């Protein structure tokens, strides 16, 4: 996936000389996750720029350079670092078009590595969709592999609004065939059906998508997996259409339970499809704790394909909600 990301940035920089890349270690070091390999060499130091460790400063810089006509791609090394700069993104960039009646805009992409599973500890492992999702003016996108990363990142860079591009860190090394000619098929706000099925609609985002796919494949129930791709805006029509057919909605999230993005899906689709549901909507998430470090704990923290398969079996078999594991075995 990291190479697909670098390729998407490169292809957009080649197509439009106003696209520029900035961030910590993106130029000389080619990105700490190697997501900007070859870019400094190809496009030069004016367009590929290393910044000091000053997120508020360089996100603000991106807002200003975008308002003045450029299309910056900004890299935030770990998603949590957005915390020191949230004002520039959610309060400044998101409102720039609105508060100038379209005279000044923010065609920028803020990319950040997110998600648990690599032992980076509590302050470098959150998925953070919900920091951005409830902000009109911002778009929030999360790919689930190399192909979707390529398509969605090109869409994000071409978008005239500020886009938050969340890169599941655990998938950077995942390889798959990428067809760069299909990138126009990837639209922000459009979901993709990863696996077709008839009995359960399983919705996932980012690193939860491969988990969902593996769970579906191991399931004796026919499971349809929907890769949302974006959380703001998100494809409610596609999810609702699927649930109308299957009658069951299950969501897999790589984030804590309370207030997670899946709650928004359940609220919207649960209401729209109320008469068609044959079982309660169910969310499979991480527990409401900071991400633990020790490998045994972190493995347990993230939902596994096996536990998703089991919970689907319980839901379909009994029509009742399975209990989250932490209620059964915490202490």
Partner 1 sequence: MTETATATRPLERRKELSDPLMRHRRMIEIRHAEDIIKELFASGLIAGSTHTCQGQEAVSVGIASVIRPTDLVGCTYRGHGHALALGIEPVSVIAEILGRQGGTTGGVGGSMHLSSKEVGLMPTTAIIGAGIPISAGAAWAAQLSGTDDIAISLFGDGASNIGAFHEGINIAAVWKLPVVFICENNLYGEYSRIDSTTAVEDIADRASSYGIPGVVVDGQDIDVVMAAVTTAVDRARAGDGPTLIEMKTYRYAGHSRSDPATYRPAGELDEWLLRDPITLHAEKLMADGLATQAELEAMDAEVVASVEQAVENAKMSPVAEIADMFAHVTAGKGR
Q: Considering the rule CB under 8 A, would residue 265 count as an interface residue with partner 1? A: no
Q: Which of 124, 224, 253, 282 is catalytic?
A: 124
Q: What's the rounded Cα separation, in Å, for the pair 178 and 144?
A: 13
Region binding partner 1 by CB under 8 A among candidate stretches 111-119, 133-141, 211-219, 246-254: 133-141
In whole angstroms, the minimum distance from the beta carbon of 225 to partner 1 comes to 25
> Which residue, 70 or 325, is less far from partner 1 as judged by CB?
70
Q: Considering the rule CB under 8 A, would residue 189 count as an interface residue with partner 1? A: yes
Q: Considering the rule CB under 8 A, would residue 287 count as an interface residue with partner 1? A: no
Region binding partner 1 by CB under 8 A among candidate stretches 126-134, 157-165, 287-295, 315-323: 157-165
Give the CA distances from residue 322 to residues 198, 209, 265, 283, 317, in Å, rounded to whole numbers and listed in that order.
20, 21, 19, 10, 11
Q: Considering the rule CB under 8 A, would residue 88 count as an interface residue with partner 1? A: yes
Q: Which residue of 13, 19, 40, 62 would you call a contact of partner 1, by CB under 8 A? A: 62
Is residue 55 annotated as a catalytic residue, yes or no?
Answer: yes
| The 3-state secondary structure of the chain, one letter per residue | CHHHHHHHHHHHHHHCCCEEEEECCCCCCCCCCCCCCCHHHHHCCCCEEECCCCHHHHHHHHHHHHHCCCEEEEEECCHHHHHHHHHHHHHHHHHHCHHHCCCCCCCCEEEEEECCCCCCCCCCCCCCHHHHCCCCCCEEECCCCHHHHHHHHHHHHHCCCCEEEEEEHHHCCCCCCCCHHHHHHCCCCCCEEEECCCCEEEEECCCHHHHHHHHHHHCCCCEEEEECCEEECCCHHHHHHHHHHHCCEEEEEEEECCCCHHHHHHHHHHHHCHHHCCCCCEEEEECCCCCCCCHHHHHHHCCCHHHHHHHHHHHHHHCCCCCCHHHHHCC
Q: Considering the rule CB under 8 A, would residue 91 count as an interface residue with partner 1? A: yes
Q: Considering the rule CB under 8 A, would residue 57 count as an interface residue with partner 1? A: yes
Give the CA distances from residue 279 to residues 315, 316, 317, 318, 321, in Å, rounded to whole numbers and listed in that order.
7, 8, 10, 9, 8
Closest CA to 160 of 91, 96, 116, 240: 96
> Which residue, 56 or 313, is less far from partner 1 as judged by CB?
56
Q: Considering the rule CB under 8 A, would residue 181 count as an interface residue with partner 1? A: no
Q: Considering the rule CB under 8 A, would residue 86 count as an interface residue with partner 1? A: no
> Which residue, 87 or 306, is less far from partner 1 as judged by CB?
87
Is residue 244 annotated as a catalytic residue, yes or no?
Answer: no
Q: Considering the rule CB under 8 A, would residue 102 count as an interface residue with partner 1? A: yes
In whole angstroms, the minimum distance from the beta carbon of 302 to partner 1 comes to 31
> Which residue, 71 or 283, is less far from partner 1 as judged by CB?
71
The two tokens of residue 75 are 């890299």
Q: Which of residues 105-124 bind partner 1 (CB under 8 A)?
A: 105
Q: Considering the rule CB under 8 A, would residue 146 count as an interface residue with partner 1? A: no
In whole angstroms, the minimum distance from the beta carbon of 184 to partner 1 comes to 8
**Binding string, 7-46, against partner 1, x = CB under 8 A?**
-------------x-------------------------x
In whole angstroms, the minimum distance from the beta carbon of 68 to partner 1 comes to 3
> Which residue, 185 or 299, is less far from partner 1 as judged by CB?
185
| Site of interaction with partner 1 (CB under 8 A) | 20, 46, 51-52, 54-70, 84, 87-88, 91-92, 95-105, 136-137, 139, 155, 158-161, 184, 187-189
- Residues annotated catalytic, as ranges: 55, 124
């Amino acid at each position: 996936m990291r190479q697909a990301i670098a390729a998407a940035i490169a292809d957009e920089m080649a197509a439009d000389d106003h696209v520029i890349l900035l961030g910590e270690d993106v130029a000389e070091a080619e990105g700490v996750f190697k997501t900007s390999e070859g870019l400094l060499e190809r496009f030069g130091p004016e367009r590929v720029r290393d910044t000091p460790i000053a997120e508020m400063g360089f996100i603000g810089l991106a807002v200003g350079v975008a308002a003045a006509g450029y299309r910056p791609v900004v890299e935030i090394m770990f998603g949590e670092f957005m915390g020191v700069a949230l004002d520039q993104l959610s309060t400044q960039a998101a409102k720039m078009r609105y508060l100038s009646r379209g005279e000044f805009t923010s065609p920028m992409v803020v990319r950040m590595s997110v998600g648990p599973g690599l032992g980076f500890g509590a302050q470098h492992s959150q998925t953070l969709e919900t920091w951005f999702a409830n902000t009109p003016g911002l778009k929030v996108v999360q790919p689930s592999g190399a192909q979707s990363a390529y398509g969605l990142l090109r869409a994000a860079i071409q978008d005239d609004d500020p886009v938050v591009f969340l890169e599941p860190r655990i998938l950077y090394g995942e390889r798959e065939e990428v067809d760069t000619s299909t990138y126009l098929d990837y639209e922000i706000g459009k979901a993709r059906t990863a696996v077709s099925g008839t009995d359960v609609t399983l919705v996932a985002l980012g690193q939860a998508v491969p988990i969902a796919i593996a769970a579906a494949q191991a399931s004796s129930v026919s499971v349809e997996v929907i890769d949302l791709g974006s959380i703001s805006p998100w494809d409610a029509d596609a999810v609702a259409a699927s649930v109308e057919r299957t009658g069951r909605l299950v969501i897999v999230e790589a984030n804590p339970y309370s207030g997670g993005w899946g709650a928004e899906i359940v609220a919207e689709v649960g209401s729209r499809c109320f008469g068609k549901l044959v079982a309660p909507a169910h969310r499979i998430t991480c527990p409401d704790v900071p991400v633990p470090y020790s490998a045994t704990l972190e493995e347990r923290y993230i939902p596994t394909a096996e536990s998703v398969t089991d919970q689907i079996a319980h839901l379909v078999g009994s029509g009742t909600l399975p209990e989250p594991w932490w209620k059964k075995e915490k202490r």
